[in-house]
Amino acid sequence: MTATFDDYLLPGKRGFLIGIGGVSMSPLAEVLHGEGLVISGSDMQFSEKVAHLESLGVPVFIGHDSAHITPDLDFVVRTAAARDENPEIVAARAMGIPVFERTQAWGALMKRYKNALCIAGTHGKTTTTSMCTHILMAAERDPTVMIGGTLPLLHAGHRVGQGDTIVMESCEYYDSFLSFFPTIAVILDIDADHLDYFADLEAIKTSFRRFARLVAPDGTVIANRDDANTMSALADLDRPLLTFGLTPEADVQGVNIVSRGAQSDFDVLYRGEFFTHLHLQVPGIHNVKNALAAAAAAITLGISPNAVKYGLAGFQGANRRFEFKGKYNGADIYDDYSHHPGELKALLDAVEPLGYKRVIMVFQPHTYSRTNALFNDFAEQLRRPDLTVLAEIYAARETNTLGISSRSLAQEIPGSMFFPTFGEIESVLRASVQPGDLVLTVGAGDVYRIGEDLVASGK
C-alpha cells in the first residue's frame, strides 16, 4: 500500500523541504515545525523567509546537494519548481525515502481543520484569498492562511493561526489543487491558461469539476454565476452549490454599484434579502465580484455581516495587485501581477475610468508557451493603453523552443515599443513620463523593478 503524507504527520518525524524559502514552502515548514516534526531544508538563496525559519530553529542549506539527504530522514517534500533531476530528489529516491509534492503535504494538513476554504479560479485567487483573510481576521477566527502573494495585513503571504479554519489559495496548474480536501471550494472563473499542461479549455474545465467534487457531500461549492465556463463545468454537480455574481439568479448578488475613482460601494443581497453594504478601496468590477465570492464564503462559514463589511473596508489590495509604488515626475506608478489577456482586460477596464491623462503600460509576458498560445488575445488588450512598452518574455520554468519574442507582439501593436533590457525601458520612461500619467508595470516576472527604479530615481 502506497504511503500518504498523513502517515508522516507525527511529532518527531524528520522531514526535508526542497525549496524551503518559497512562498508556499516556508509556511509549510513553519506549520510542520509547529506540529512537532523535525524539519530542515534547502533553497537556492538566502531570504527573509529563510532567516525567519532559522530563527525558529529550522536549519536551511543554501544550494542543492545530495549530501543534504541523510538516511535518518523520514520524508522529503519538494517545491513545484524542483525537477526529478534535482540532486536531493535523486538521493532521496536512491535511499528509498518517499518524496511528496508540497500540495500533498498541505492537503494532509488541511484535514486537521474543521473548515478548509480553498480559493480557485484562473484569475483573482490571490485577491479573493486576501479578502477572505481580512474577513476572518475581522471576525476573530484566528485562521491559518496560505496566499500566493504578500498581504500587507499579515506582512507576509501566510499566517499560522490556532483557529479551526484554513484558507488556501488553490492553483489548477499541474492539477495541484486535486491534492486538497476542501470543505468549501470557491471557483472564481475558468479560462484558457496553462496550455503547456492542459490540452485545451475543456481539459481545464474537467480539472475544476474534479476539484469541486473533492468537497464532501455536506460541504459547499461556491461558483461565479456570471461565468459561463464555470457554470458549464459544474452542471449537475452532486454537491451543494452557492453562486455569486451580478445577475439576479446569483444567490449572493451585488446591486446598486457606484464607482468613484478607485473605490466602489454596493449592496450585497443573499437570496434576495439585504445582507450588508460594502465599500471597496480597490478598483474594477472584477474586484466587486471577488468581494462577492469572499462574502459568499463568509456566509457559508457563518460569519456576521459586520465582519464582512469591516473586514473588506480595510482591504487595500495584496502586493503586486494594482499596488501603488510611488510617483515619478508627477505620474502615478502602479504595479500589477496580471499575466493573462483576461487579467489585462480586467486591469484596463478598472483603470481607464480613473481620469488619467495617459495610461502607459510596461508589459513583460510570462512564459513562451502562454505568449504563443494566447498571442492574438494579448495583442488585442495591449493595443488599448495610450502607450505600450514591451519587455522581453520572462522565461520562468521554460526554454524558448518556439522562437517567440516580445518583438513579435510589438509588431502587432501600433505605436508600441520593444526593448530587450530594463535599462533601455527606464531611459525611455524617464524621458517621456509626464504629470497626470498612470504608469503600469505589469507581469508575473520581475518587471516591478522598473517601477521601483523609476520611483527611486525621482526622489
Domain residue spans of the chain? 13-101, 111-313, 323-457
* 84: exposed, middle or buried (Cβ count in 10 Å: 0-12, 13-18, 19+): exposed
396 pLDDT above the threshold of 90: no
- Cα separation, 456 vs 13, in Å, equals 47
The stretch 84-111 carries a mean pLDDT of 95
What pLDDT is recorded for position 398? Answer: 87
Whether domain 323-457 has CATH 3.30.470.20: no
- Cα separation, 408 vs 41, in Å, equals 41
What pLDDT is recorded for position 459? Answer: 73
**pTM (2 d.p.):** 0.86
Single-letter residue type at 408: S
2 pLDDT above the threshold of 80: no
- Bin 404: left if φ > 0, else alpha if -120 < ψ < 50, else beta: beta
Specify the higher pLDDT residue, 321 or 331: 331
- Cα separation, 110 vs 168, in Å, equals 9
23 pLDDT above the threshold of 80: no
- CA-to-CA separations, 42 to 5, 63, 325, 346, in angstroms, rounded: 20, 6, 32, 38
239 pLDDT above the threshold of 90: yes
Grid coordinates of 158: 501566510
Could you give the 3-state DSSP secondary structure of residue 169?
strand
278 pLDDT above the threshold of 70: yes
pLDDT in tens, 99-151: 999 999 999 999 989 999 999 999 999 999 999 999 999 999 999 998 877 88
pLDDT band at 183 (very low <50, low <70, confident <90, very high): very high
55 pLDDT above the threshold of 70: yes
The stretch 83-100 carries a mean pLDDT of 96
Grid coordinates of 287: 474586484
The lowest-confidence range among 19-28, 85-94, 136-145, 158-167 is 19-28
Pick the CATH number of 111-313 from 3.30.310.220, 3.40.30.10, 3.40.50.300, 3.40.1190.10: 3.40.1190.10
The stretch 211-223 carries a mean pLDDT of 96
pLDDT band at 43 (very low <50, low <70, confident <90, very high): very high
Fold of the domain built from segment(s) 13-101: Rossmann fold (3.40.50)
Average pLDDT of the chain to the nearest whole number: 94
Closest CA to 448 of 381, 407, 391: 391
pLDDT band at 197 (very low <50, low <70, confident <90, very high): confident
What pLDDT is recorded for position 31? Answer: 87
The stretch 48-67 carries a mean pLDDT of 94
- Cα separation, 236 vs 338, in Å, equals 32
186 pLDDT above the threshold of 70: yes
Q: For a pLDDT cut of 90, what percent of the chain falls above it? A: 84
232 pLDDT above the threshold of 90: yes
pLDDT band at 433 (very low <50, low <70, confident <90, very high): very high
pLDDT band at 1 (very low <50, low <70, confident <90, very high): low
The stretch 89-95 carries a mean pLDDT of 97
Strand partners, 15: 39, 75
Closest CA to 151 of 129, 174, 180, 125: 129
Catalytic residues: 125-126, 169
The stretch 38-62 carries a mean pLDDT of 93
